[in-house]
Each structure stands twice: as structure tokens, then as C-alpha cells.
Amino acid sequence: GDDMVVTDTNGEQPLSAMVSMVTKGCPGEVTCLDEARHGFETGDVVEGMEELNSCGPVEIRVLGPYTFSIGDTSGFGDYVRGGIVTQVKMPKHIHFVSHRVPRQRAATTARGPASPPWRPQGPSRESPVPCVCPQGDAAEVVALTREVAPGAELDEDLLRELAFQASGDLAPVNAFIGGLAAQEVMKAVSGKFTPITQWLYFDALECLPEENKEAVLTEEQCRPRNSRYDGQIAVFGAELQAKLGAQKYFVVGAGAIGCELLKNFAMVGLGCGPDGCITVTDMDTIEKSNLNRQFLFRPWDVTRDLELGAGAPQRQLQRRLNSTFLRVNPGTASQQAPRGELTLSCLGPAPPWVFPAVGLYMDRRCVYYRKPLLESGTLGTKGNVQVVIPFLSESYSSSQDPPEKAIPICTLKNFPNAIEHTLQWARDEFEGLFKQPAENVNQYLTWVSGEGWGASPLAGGCHPVTLGCHPVTLRRHPITWWCHPTTLGCCPSPLNLLPSPLEPPMPSGCYPSPANTLRCPLTPMGALLQPLHLDYIMAAANLFAQSYGIEGSRDRGAVAELLRHVRVPSFAPKAGVRIHVSDQELQSATAALDDERLEELKASLPSPEELPGFRMFPIDFEKVGAARPLPPGSKLIAGKIIPAIATTTGAVVGLACLELYKLVQGHRRLASYKNAFLNLALPFVGFSEPLACPRNK
């Protein structure tokens, strides 16, 4: 229809900021804490503050990075302390004009900055698709355009290119347009994200030969060969098709982007010639959650290695594809492995890596051996493509994202006020319970001589609580262990805060402070059988059992029944507890650890000879979904992790493979290459030229 209601225009989580001051006036001004910019825009609708809650959401006007104005607050009481302001997603009505209406409308543009715009206007005329590279057909297209749009300013060279490429068909362009079109369908049926306005213009003319185009793209070169690549040959000629078949590429990772890369490589014929090769490496296995966005895999592939699972369907797409699959983690540790010299023979690694360290290592190898590199990534509806060309553009590691702001430990443990705090809390909790203790125990058991405690795990500053709070008798009772007050998930920290002498609790439930970031928590005690808490306890108990080599249980009914009979001792606040409100206080307290207590714990430990054959099993970090919402539930924080989606992946890989055409042809003009940035939720697609590499005399 001509009208659509969008419930979420950008797909972002609602912004939230803590308030430090509200003025009385018309309009009233709200000042947020200077720890971070509020991020609002003029016209956003927010809610918050006790007296404003009854008014409903209020439209704001941004005055600065930390201030904005709201409605009339002159009749309100004086601001005292605290408060949170939160963005509200409001429905937005979007109107469209029928495509039958012959008028020029606003459009979304997805093209290079130097490309001329397409301007469809006036009536249309139907004509047969031109043949491959016919000068006569190109002239006819120009004449038809002048007839349809008399008096319009036309770019005849652009129209001739349109005629020359009309019979072409490129898999990367299909992937890009297909990803956008699929996302538009989802927008239409869900009302989520902003749709494309009327038209989308996209071209990639810079993929064509840079010089002597008429001599390279002759009618003989572009004629059909009765092959699956005829659509591609019609655009680039048979000579480039042969070059594509002889390419050797190294793909790091066979996940969502890796699957799409392999599919597009097979469709364009990359590495399909007698001298070509595609080498894939991945250390992960296929999980069930991968199936909704990694379409090379099927349910029967679950638990298989990613790189092996991608091989069979890739060969079904292209039987002539020469591919090799490895299980090697690229890095200095594997550089001397039998296949460690792979980068030497690769004309261009195409790494959709997840871990930055792998990306930096591959970038160093590509710089050392003067190889091109294609980098791409996605985050929900956002994506990017970066192309690195030897001696032309800067390297991947030349420009890095600014380091993430470190989260103070005291904030993480005691006063989280943002979703990233709880995410980091979950990871720290996992490693502190299931990885580091097991590694320390194994290291202690392998320590034989009593000389030089510096070589033992105890010299690294093991906290006495780690050594003394877990009775050995609890090894056989993971559920009981997890319900014990000394280890119970996230309860001890909030419970210790409640009677804290930091400040007397205020009626609002907030601790007043200069920064106003300390908020009184709630406790989930007494609600162990709630579904979320039960998920958390089951995951933690099974992980605890796994670290001791004990068989776990996934019977929720049995675990729930056991919890009903577990007697949880009443929590007793620690005497003389000191709640640290800054990392400086925490460091001072850590430096004053009781050395005598540490020596007592050392003496109480059994010697390694008394535990022959005993080992613990450290567990690498796993995503326990129930571990994250618990602290937000007690601190009034909520949020969700945005998963990867197939539409963004398809569009990003399509753009990456368009850059591949340029690399194979050997384009030497930096302006021919394009780094891409897109956000399908807005929608936005932008291109920029890569930065030139530094030149030293």
C-alpha cells in the first residue's frame, strides 16, 4: 500500500542515560552524567524522572552532548538526586507513491561517489535485451532514452554501458541485491526497520577494465560459451574468467561470512581451473544455532568441523572447484606447522575472522609477502568491507578501532549500570569459577619441588577466598555447591551491599554520591525455581561437575526436586566488609592481603603426592544465556545480544566479491577500489576510497 507503520526505525537498543541535574523552567533542561554522551537526537522521545512518569513520553531537543531540553518543568518540585532517562521507540508512519506514477521521487543511493545518478522519469518503453557488446544496440538504447525523456540531460556513455552489460549476470551483484531485497521483505511483514524510499540506485562500473576497455571487451571475448559463466563472461570477457579459475585464495573461517564467500567463489569460478585452489581453515564445529544463517550446512552436519562441513555443499555448487580444508588456527604458534607456509602460495587471503589477533596476524603475513587481502564483517544489520592492495592502500592494521573503555572492577562487581557491565560480569564469573581454579589446581599438582613458590600458582596472587571457600566434600554435589551462600551466583555481592555502611539507604533506594551511579540492588534469593534462575543453576552445576570430571544431569524436574530439599543457610553479612567505590580503593585493599592467612592455606593443602592421578578439567568460555539476565534483573538493567543475520551477510559478501573482480584484473588506480559500509535497518549503504599507503623516501 501507500502507507506503512514502522515500529523500530533503526533496530538499536533504546538509549539510556543517568541524570545528574534537572532545572525548573520552560523548557526544563536535563543534564546527564559526563561519563558518556547521552546519544539522543532532536525529536527523540524519552521518559524518566518521577514527576514526568505520569506525563508519558516527552519529545526532546538536544542542546549538547550531555544536555537536552524537555517540556515545562517550572511547576515541578526541586530535583534532588538520581534518575534515569530512557529513549522510547515511537511508531513512524511512512508514505509511498505508486511505481505507476511517472514522477521523479527521492531515492536511496548505493553507489560509488564518482558514479553519475540514474534518473528514471517519464513513461517507459519495452525493448528486446541487447546482444553482447553490439554498437548498434547501444545506439538504439540511447535513441530510445531520448525518445522517452525528451530534453533531459543524458550521459550517453553510461547508457551505452547499460546496453553492453544488459545480458550480463553477476553472482556478487545478485548476492548484494538479494540481501537487500530479502531484508525489505522482512521489513514489510514485520514493520521493523526503515524501508527503502521508492528506488534504490546501485552500480559498480569501476569493476570494468581500467584501460583499453574496447580492446579487451570485444564481441568475441564476451560471446556465450554455453557455460555456467556466460553471464559473467558477457560482462568481463573469457580472459578474466580464465584468470579467476587460476586464483589461489586462503579463507580464514567457514562461519556465516565464510559460507557466503565459499558459495560466491564457487559461483564465479574462483579457483576452479587446473592451477587454482581454495584453502579453508576453521577451528570451530557446527552448532545447531548456525543453521539459520550458514546455509551450506544441514541438520546432519551438526557437531562436524566447520571447514569439512562446508566442503561437500561447495563441491555440489561447483564440481571443478579445487579446495583444501584445514583445522589450523592462523598465528605464530602454527606458522611452523606443515601447512604453515600456505600464505606463501595464496594470491589473496579472504579472512572473515572473528578474533582480532587472527586478523592482525594475517595482515602481517599479507604485508610481508605483498598479498592483497579482503576483510569483511557484520554486526546484526550492519556490515563493512575493506580491501587491502599491496603498494596502493594502507594495511588492515594501519587503522584500528579505538580501544574499548575499560570497566572499573568496582563497577563490575558492585555497581553495574550498563548492559556491557553485566556481559563482562558473566565472562569474569565463568573464568573465575570454571577455568582459572582448575588451571591453578593442575599447575599445583604438577609442582613437585617445594623450592621456589614463585613457580607455583599460589605465588601469582591467588585470593585466599579461592583457596578456602570450597570444601572438598562438595565436589560430589554440584547443586548443593551452587546453592551455598559462599558461591551462590550473583547473590553474595548484592547482599553484602545492602547493610553496607557506605551510606544509610535512602527512601528512593539509591545511594547518594557525587556521580549518582551507585544504585541499591535487589536480590533473587528465595526464587531459585524460577525458570531463568533454574537455567542458571543447571548450567553452573553441570559446568562445575564437568570441571571435576563428574557426570552432569539435564533433567530439569530432578534438579528442581533436589532444590526443594536443599537447605540454603541464611546469609550472614561479613563483619567489617568494605564496599569499594573506586579501583584505587580496591587496589589498596588488595595490597594489604593477610600473608599469614595465605601461608595457613598453603600449609593446609595436600601435597601433589597425596593425590596421584587427580586432575581437574578447565573449561573454556561458553555462552550461558541465563548468566547474563540475572544481574540486570537485580539492577534493573535489561538488554539483548543481536545475532548475525543472513541478509546482511549476503549483501556484505556480494560487495567483497565485487572487489575481488578488481584484484584479479590488477586494477592499479586507488579510486577504483571501494571500502563499503552498510546498515540495512536505516537503510544506508556508503562507499569510500581506501586510504593510500604511506610512502617513505
Q: Is the peptide bond before 631 cis (omega within 30 degrees of 0)?
A: no
366 has a pLDDT exceeding 50: yes
- Could you tell me if 547 and 557 are in contact, meaning their C-beta atoms sit under 8 angstroms apart? no
What pLDDT is recorded for position 329? 75
| Cα 185 off chain centre by | 23
665 has a pLDDT exceeding 80: yes
634 has a pLDDT exceeding 80: no
Of 635, 652, 685, the domain-final residue = 635
244 has a pLDDT exceeding 80: yes
Tell me how far apart the alpha carbons of residues 265 and 267 are, in angstroms, rounded to a whole number: 5
447 has a pLDDT exceeding 90: no
pLDDT tens, position by position, 137-190 = 788 888 888 888 888 888 888 888 888 888 899 999 999 999 999 999 999 999
What pLDDT is recorded for position 683? 92
Structural domain boundaries, residue 596? 420-635
pLDDT tens, position by position, 33-71 = 766 677 777 766 665 556 666 777 888 888 888 888 988
Tell me how far apart the alpha carbons of residues 615 and 620 are, in angstroms, rounded to a whole number: 16
Mean pLDDT, residues 509-536 taken together: 61
Question: What is the DSSP secondary-structure string of 416-453?
Answer: --SHHHHHHHHHHHHIIIIIHHHHHHHHHHT---SS-G
* In the block, residue with C-alpha cell 604438577: 446
Mean pLDDT, residues 393-422 taken together: 75
309 has a pLDDT exceeding 80: no
Among the residue ranges 7-16, 238-247, 337-346, 648-657, the one predicted with the least confidence is: 337-346
Residue 410 is a catalytic residue: yes
What pLDDT is recorded for position 190? 94
Closest CA to 622 of 513, 559, 544, 510: 544
Mean per-residue pLDDT over the chain, rounded: 76
What pLDDT is recorded for position 52? 67
Mean pLDDT, residues 264-274 taken together: 91
Name the most confidently modeled range: 202-206, 448-452, 461-465, 551-555. 202-206
What pLDDT is recorded for position 564? 79
The answer to whether residue 482 is domain-embedded is yes
pLDDT tens, position by position, 594-608 = 667 777 777 788 887
What pLDDT is recorded for position 506? 41
The answer to whether residue 188 is domain-embedded is no
Number of CB atoms found within 10 A of residue 545's CB: 19
549 has a pLDDT exceeding 70: yes
- Could you tell me if 472 and 481 are in contact, meaning their C-beta atoms sit under 8 angstroms apart? no
Question: What is the DSSP secondary-structure string of 88-137?
Answer: E---EEEE---TTS-S---EEEES-TTSPPP---S-----PPP-SS-HHH
What pLDDT is recorded for position 337? 43
Q: Which long-range contacts does 334-343 make (Cβ < 8 Å, 24+ apart)?
A: 342/250, 342/279, 342/281, 343/250, 343/369, 343/371
What pLDDT is recorded for position 484? 58
Burial class (CB in 10 A: 0-12, 13-18, 19+), 342: buried
pLDDT confidence tier of residue 126, bands split at 50, 70 and 90: low
Q: Is the peptide bond before 683 cis (omega within 30 degrees of 0)?
A: yes
Mean pLDDT, residues 628-636 taken together: 45
Count how many domains the chain has: 2
Mean pLDDT, residues 402-423 taken together: 70
pLDDT confidence tier of residue 453, bands split at 50, 70 and 90: very low
Mean pLDDT, residues 286-300 taken together: 78
For helices 171-190 and 256-268, the axis angle rounded to 10 degrees is 140
The answer to whether residue 365 is domain-embedded is no
116 has a pLDDT exceeding 60: no
What pLDDT is recorded for position 605? 80
Cα 433 to Cα 375, 436, 437, 469: the distances in Å are 36, 7, 6, 12
342 has a pLDDT exceeding 50: no
pLDDT confidence tier of residue 403, bands split at 50, 70 and 90: low
What pLDDT is recorded for position 253? 83
Q: Is residue 62 helix, strand or coil?
A: strand
Among the residue ranges 9-13, 252-256, 316-320, the one predicted with the least confidence is: 316-320
What pLDDT is recorded for position 209? 92
What does the chain come to in residues? 697
What pLDDT is recorded for position 346? 43
The answer to whether residue 199 is domain-embedded is no
Of 75, 95, 115, the domain-final residue = 95
The answer to whether residue 364 is domain-embedded is no
CATH code of the domain covering residue 522: 1.10.10.2660
What pLDDT is recorded for position 638? 36
Of 610, 635, 660, the domain-final residue = 635
442 has a pLDDT exceeding 80: yes
Tell me how far apart the alpha carbons of residues 398 and 383 are, in angstroms, rounded to a whole number: 20
Q: What is the dihedral of CA 60, 63, 68, 74, to 10 degrees?
A: -90
Mean pLDDT, residues 569-576 taken together: 66
Number of CB atoms found within 10 A of residue 607's CB: 11
CATH code of the domain covering residue 47: 2.40.30.180
pLDDT confidence tier of residue 664, bands split at 50, 70 and 90: very high
pLDDT tens, position by position, 617-629 = 888 765 555 555 5
Rg of the chain taking only CA atoms, in angstroms: 31
pLDDT confidence tier of residue 509, bands split at 50, 70 and 90: very low
383 has a pLDDT exceeding 90: yes
Q: What pTM, to 2 d.p., does this model score?
A: 0.74
The answer to whether residue 248 is domain-embedded is no
The answer to whether residue 254 is domain-embedded is no
Name the most confidently modeled range: 451-465, 491-505, 512-526, 571-585. 571-585
% of residues, the chain, pLDDT over 70: 66
Give the residue, 502 or 310, on which the prediction is more confident. 310
113 has a pLDDT exceeding 60: no
% of residues, the chain, pLDDT over 90: 22
Select which of 131, 207, 346, 410 is catalytic: 410
pLDDT confidence tier of residue 238, bands split at 50, 70 and 90: very high
What pLDDT is recorded for position 343? 38
pLDDT confidence tier of residue 656, bands split at 50, 70 and 90: very high
- Could you tell me if 252 and 278 are in contact, meaning their C-beta atoms sit under 8 angstroms apart? no
